[in-house]
Amino acid sequence: MADLVDVLIIGAGAAGMMCALTAAQRGRSVLLLDHSEKLAEKIRISGGGRCNFTNLNAKPENYISGNPHFCRSALARYTPQHFIALLEKHGIGYHEKTLGQLFCDEGSGAVITMLKSECDAAGVRWGMPCSVQHIAKDDTFYIMTSRGTFESQSLVIASGGLSIPKIGATPFGYKIAQQFDIPVTKLKPGLVPLSFHPEEWLAYSELAGISVDAVVSYGKQSFRENLLFTHRGLSGPAILQISSYWEHAQPLHINLLPDHDMHDLLAQQRGSRLLLRNFLAQYLPKRFADVWCAQLTENQPLNQYSEKALDAFAAKLHGWQITPTGTLGYSKAEVTCGGVDTHALSSKTMQANDVPGLYFIGEVVDVTGQLGGFNFQWAWASGYAAGLAI
């Protein structure tokens, strides 16, 4: 005989726990299953263990989706201030770093403990570790697991995406969508470092560890933050941000000196005997200036270059065009771009339009936030929306 519950949630991460505590506080009987022995590992490792749990500036424009307006309803009903109030209720301190990013003073463990205690207080039942073997639907859902068979009126898929498989990421949620004929959009790693052909990158690989404040652009998207050189390519916040938008085999444009007009500065120095790389080292790290100049031109005094050559050099500094060969993949990606097609879901409740009682929340959905706490805010908001509806 199946164990009967009102709500069964698969995935005990950020979205799953928020959904569970919200539904249980409304008097629903909730069972939360997860295949992992450790609770909410993605929360634990986020923000270098400090958990960048939201962003004060969260708005629909900070999200990528095939349906850009889908996230609007959930984000409006559960805001960063709602999560801050929850932290304050538990006496957990937090601080703002830059660009509205909020981090937990006591580390990510405090956020996990808070969510678990809220679930426990509301009467949520836990099943961990628990593998799901089969799901069937009649009037209700039947979930066959390593802990027995459960029957529920509502089934919530909060199983996350493909990013960081070493902490348990699997394609489980997409397979459930496909089982019920719900479309899944194209998947790719997001918020991920970019790689280049080893031979093309050989000279720049010497710069591993150097970072530069730059504007990185692709299409209509531009981000100004640090760009970090690595042995294999580029990383840092600006690159992670653009990676979610970048398409394979397409070039990126990088302005290495957004605060300066190098055309004017070089024109003013036309008669100078200062070596080009020494001039550049006034504005960029010396090691970078050395490698950059060696790649583009001979290192001569400025007065030995033609006006045209200096103009071309300035243009390159403000518009360095490079084409990555790929990304470092899901093992290094913070999120998965794409997911369960939002056109097949209700933006108010997260329920599948054609499968009553089936809900998808969090990263498994085709809503991907930018870097800086936006993905956690989507987890809280989508979990809350489903929790109110089930």
DSSP 8-state assignment for residue 19? H
Domain segments of the chain as ranges: 3-188+337-389, 194-327
Q: Under a CB-based contact definition with an 8 Å cutoff, are residues 370 and 3 in contact?
A: no
Q: pLDDT tens digit string along 168-189?
A: 999 999 999 999 999 999 999 9
1: pLDDT strictly greater than 90: no
- What is the residue type of 120? D
Is the CB of residue 216 less than 8 Å from the CB of residue 252? yes
What are the DSSP calls for 102-118, one per residue? Answer: EEETT-HHHHHHHHHHH
Output phi, psi for 42, to 5 deg: -70, -35
Mean confidence (pLDDT) of the chain: 97
List, for residues 339-359, the tens digit of each pLDDT value. Answer: 999 999 999 999 999 999 999
Q: Which fold has domain 3-188+337-389?
A: FAD/NAD(P)-binding domain (3.50.50)
Average pLDDT over residues 11-30: 98
The domain defined by 194-327 folds into Elongation Factor Tu (Ef-tu); domain 3 (2.40.30)
Say how far apart CA 333 and CA 15 lie, in whole Å.
19
Write down the pLDDT at residue 296.
85
Residue-wise pLDDT tens digits, 178-228: 999 999 999 999 999 999 999 999 999 999 999 999 999 999 999 999 999
pLDDT (mean) for 135-150? 97
End-to-end CA separation in angstroms for the chain:
23
Name the one residue in this structure whose structure tokens are 């652009």. 217
Q: How confident is the model at residue 135 (pLDDT cuts 50, 70, 90)?
A: very high
Which residues pair with residue 138 across a beta bridge? none
Looking at the DSSP assignment, which residues form a beta bridge with residue 252?
A: 322
Please give the torsion angle defined by the CA atoms of residues 339, 325, 294 and 253, in that order, rounded to the nearest 10 degrees: -40
DSSP track, 209-226: T-EEEEEEEETTEEEEEE
Distance of CA 265 to the CA centre of its chain: 38
pTM: predicted TM-score of the whole model, two decimal places: 0.96
